[in-house]
C-alpha cells in the first residue's frame, strides 16, 4: 500500500529513521531491481535485469541481483510443457535439412524458420504460425486462424516477404508438417526464389528457435491469464509479438538486445 520495498521497511523498523550508507545502497538497489522486474511484466530473470541496470549505470553482479530477487520474492514466470503440433503422416514431398541446427546468420534474411502452435481459447483452438529471422530472432511474419491449413502458413510467409522487401535466396526452414509440404506453400517458395529446408522426422531440436519462441509466448504472456475468447487471444498475441517481443524483450542469443534494437545497432 505504501509502495516501499520489504527490505526498506525492515531497515526502518530496525534503525528507525536512521539508515547507514550501506543499507541505503541496498534499499536503492532492491528498488531498482524490483522496478526492472515490473517493467519486464515479471518476465526477466537476473541476467536480463543486469543488462537493464547497466543502461542506468548500475553494475550489481548476478549473485547480488539473484539474492535481491529472492529477498523480495521476485520470481520470473515459469515454464510448462505444451502440445506438439506436427502432422508428418503424409505422402507429400519433403525438403532436405539445409539448416542442420546452425541457427546463426551473419545478415538479415539469410535464414528464416517457421512453425505452428495451438492456442487454447474458450471458443476452441486458435492456431498461430510464425516466421522468425535467425539473424535477429525477430518475428517477421505471423498469422492466426481457427483452422490449421496451408493458408495459415502461407499467410505468415507472405507477411514476412512483404515486411522484408521480398528477398531472394533465403533459406526457409520448418518441420515436415503437411501444411509446409503442401503445393500452395511450396509454390509460394518457388515463386519468390526462396530455398526450402525441413527438419528431420521427429526431431524438434532441428527447429529449436521457433519452439523457443512459442515457449516464451505461452509462459510470459498467456499461462497466467484467464481463459480468453479468440478475439482477446488475437490481441494478446499481437501485443506480445509486435510490442513486447520484437521491440523490447532482450534475447540472450543477440547480446541481450531486443530484435529491433539489434537490427538498428547493426545497420548503423
SS (H, E, C) 196-227: EEECCCCCHHHHHHHHHHHHHHHHHHHCCCCC
* Pair 126, 256 in one domain: yes
In the predicted structure, residue 137 carries a pLDDT above the cut 60: yes
Residue 181 lies in a domain: yes
* 104 occurs within a structural domain: no
Evaluated on CA atoms 214, 210, 147, 166, the torsion sign reads: positive
What's the distance, CA 118 to chain centroid? 16
Name the residue range of residue 29's domain.
6-72
Same domain for 54 and 178?
no
142 with 64, same domain? no
Give a yes or no: residue 78 inside a domain: no
Same domain for 245 and 117, yes or no, is: yes
163 in the same domain as 41: no
* Whether 65 contacts 50, CB under 8 Å: yes
The Cα-based distances of 147 to 123, 179, 186, 227 in angstroms read: 13, 11, 19, 19
- Residues 221 and 118 both lie in one domain: yes
* pLDDT, position 19: 63
Domain count, the chain: 2
Q: Mean pLDDT, to the nearest integer, of 175-188?
A: 95
Same domain, 62 and 125: no
Name the band, by pLDDT with cuts 50, 70 and 90, for residue 106.
Answer: very high
The helix (run of H) or strand (run of E) holding residue 237 is helix 230-238
pTM above 0.75, yes or no: no
Q: Cα torsion at 217, 157, 205, 125 (round to 10°)?
A: 50
Count of CB atoms situated within 10 Å of the CB of 3: 5
Q: Does one domain contain both 158 and 228?
A: yes
Amino acid at each position: 500500500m505504501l509502495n516501499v520495498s520489504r527490505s526498506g521497511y525492515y531497515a526502518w523498523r530496525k534503525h528507525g529513521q536512521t539508515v547507514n550508507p550501506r543499507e541505503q545502497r541496498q534499499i536503492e538497489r532492491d528498488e531498482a531491481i524490483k522496478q526492472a522486474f515490473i517493467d519486464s511484466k515479471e518476465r526477466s530473470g537476473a541476467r536480463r535485469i543486469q543488462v537493464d541496470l547497466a543502461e542506468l549505470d548500475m553494475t550489481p553482479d548476478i549473485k547480488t541481483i539473484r539474492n535481491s530477487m529472492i529477498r523480495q520474492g521476485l520470481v520470473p514466470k515459469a515454464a510448462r510443457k505444451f502440445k506438439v503440433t506436427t502432422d508428418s503422416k503424409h505422402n507429400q514431398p519433403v525438403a532436405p535439412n539445409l539448416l542442420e541446427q546452425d541457427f546463426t546468420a551473419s545478415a538479415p534474411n539469410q535464414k528464416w524458420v517457421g512453425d505452428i502452435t495451438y492456442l487454447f481459447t474458450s471458443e476452441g483452438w486458435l492456431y498461430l504460425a510464425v516466421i522468425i529471422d535467425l539473424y535477429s530472432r525477430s518475428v517477421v511474419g505471423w498469422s492466426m486462424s481457427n483452422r490449421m491449413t496451408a493458408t495459415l502458413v502461407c499467410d505468415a510467409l507472405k507477411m514476412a516477404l512483404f515486411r522484408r522487401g521480398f528477398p531472394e535466396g533465403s533459406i526457409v526452414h520448418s518441420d515436415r508438417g503437411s501444411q509446409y509440404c503442401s503445393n500452395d506453400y511450396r509454390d509460394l517458395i518457388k515463386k519468390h526464389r526462396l530455398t526450402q529446408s525441413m527438419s528431420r522426422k521427429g526431431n524438434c531440436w532441428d527447429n529449436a528457435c521457433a519452439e523457443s519462441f512459442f515457449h516464451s509466448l505461452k509462459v510470459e504472456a498467456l499461462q497466467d491469464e484467464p481463459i480468453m475468447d479468440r478475439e482477446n487471444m488475437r490481441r494478446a498475441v499481437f501485443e506480445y509479438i509486435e510490442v513486447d517481443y520484437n521491440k523490447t524483450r532482450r534475447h540472450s542469443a543477440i547480446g541481450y538486445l531486443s530484435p529491433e534494437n539489434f537490427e538498428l545497432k547493426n545497420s548503423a
